[in-house]
């Protein structure tokens, strides 16, 4: 089953450039692991913001929660998970 995930990151402006870079690098590493595991299928940057929209494929919402809460930036994010159903245009049929 697929899920549309929207994440807004809220890093305090006064966080040091160093801590920011460490966190961001760790986040990217974990992101690539989730890609390799086949959970994170697509990800886009929301322009102008530390925010992204992504597409997860997972057996259920519990697996999505485990993936998201494993992100190093988890304590700083506001996430929203939306369940997606298959659309007829991607199966066979009528709209």
Work out which of 37, 38, 60, 70 binds a second copy, going by CB under 8 A.
60
**Does 62 help bind a second copy (rule: CB under 8 A)?**
yes
87 binds a second copy (CB under 8 A): yes
3-state secondary structure (DSSP) of residue 12:
coil
Interacting residues of 41 by C-beta distance below 8 A, sequence separation 6+: 2, 35, 54, 55, 56, 57
Q: Which is nearer to a second copy, 37 or 61 (CB)?
A: 61
Query: Smallest gap, in angstroms, from Cβ of residue 18 to a second copy?
Result: 14
Long-range contacts of residues 61-66, Cβ cutoff 8 Å, at least 24 apart: 61/3, 63/39, 64/3, 64/5, 64/39
Position 80 contacts a second copy (CB under 8 A): yes
Q: What are phi and psi of 79, to 5 degrees?
A: -120, 150
Interface contacts to a second copy, rule CB under 8 A: 1-5, 7, 11-13, 24-25, 27-28, 31-32, 35, 40, 42-49, 52-55, 59-62, 64-65, 68-69, 73, 75-76, 78-90, 93-95
């Amino acid at each position: 089953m697929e899920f549309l995930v929207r994440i807004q990151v809220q890093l305090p402006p006064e966080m040091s450039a160093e801590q920011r870079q460490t966190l961001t690098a760790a986040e990217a590493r974990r992101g690539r692991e989730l890609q390799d595991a086949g959970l994170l299928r697509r990800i886009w940057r929301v322009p102008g913001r530390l925010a992204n929209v992504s597409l997860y494929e997972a057996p259920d919402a519990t697996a999505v929660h485990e993936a998201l809460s494993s992100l190093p930036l988890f304590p700083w994010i506001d996430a929203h998970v939306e369940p997606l159903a298959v659309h007829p245009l991607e199966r066979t049929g009528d709209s």
